[in-house]
Amino acid sequence: MLIGQLGYRADEAQVAERLAAMHSPSAQVFVALLDDAVAGCLTTSIMRVLHRPAPVGRISMLVVDEGLRGRGIGAALIAAAEAALSATGCGLVEVTSNLRLAEAHRFYERLGYSRTSIRFARELSAPAACP
């Protein structure tokens, strides 16, 4: 499973459940196929924020199969996401990436992304269901 290549655990049933929960006009999933097999996946969301005049698009996950990296699949997924986010009126695209993924950070920088902020996270003890 591709998500495992990012260091996260999720079986097919969990991924299917999460995909169903993401069904929203403000969330999209992009899938790259190569010879009818999943080669990569990218997820986006759109946020309205008070401090920006236009919505902000966020790429929250990008993974390309380890054996297929370097073939332009990730760049093609990013280009598709940027086009879709732009078409919905987003004025900025942010990428979230785990600190341990230094190679991914270099990939984003090669595509013109800049390090602009630091994100802080805290696990909640009992996550509540979100509407």
Q: Which structural domains are found in the chain, ordered by start?
A: 2-110 (3.40.630.30)
Model confidence over 72-125: pLDDT tens digits? 999 999 999 999 999 999 999 999 998 989 999 999 999 999 999 888 999 999
d(CA 98, CA 81): 19
User: What tokens were used for 27?
Assistant: 């969330």
pLDDT at 131 over 60: no
Taking alpha carbons only, the member of 89, 23, 19 closest to residue 61 is 19
First to last CA, the chain: 28
Sheet containing 37-47: order of strands: 27-34, 37-47, 56-64, 92-95
User: Average of pLDDT values for 53-82?
Assistant: 96
pLDDT value of position 90: 97
Taking alpha carbons only, the member of 75, 1, 94, 70 closest to residue 32 is 75
Model confidence over 22-49: pLDDT tens digits? 888 899 999 999 999 999 999 999 999 9
pLDDT value of position 7: 81
User: What tokens were used for 110?
Assistant: 């090669």
SS3 102: helix
Choose between 129 and 89: higher pLDDT. Answer: 89
State the pLDDT confidence band at 5, using cuts at 50, 70 and 90: confident
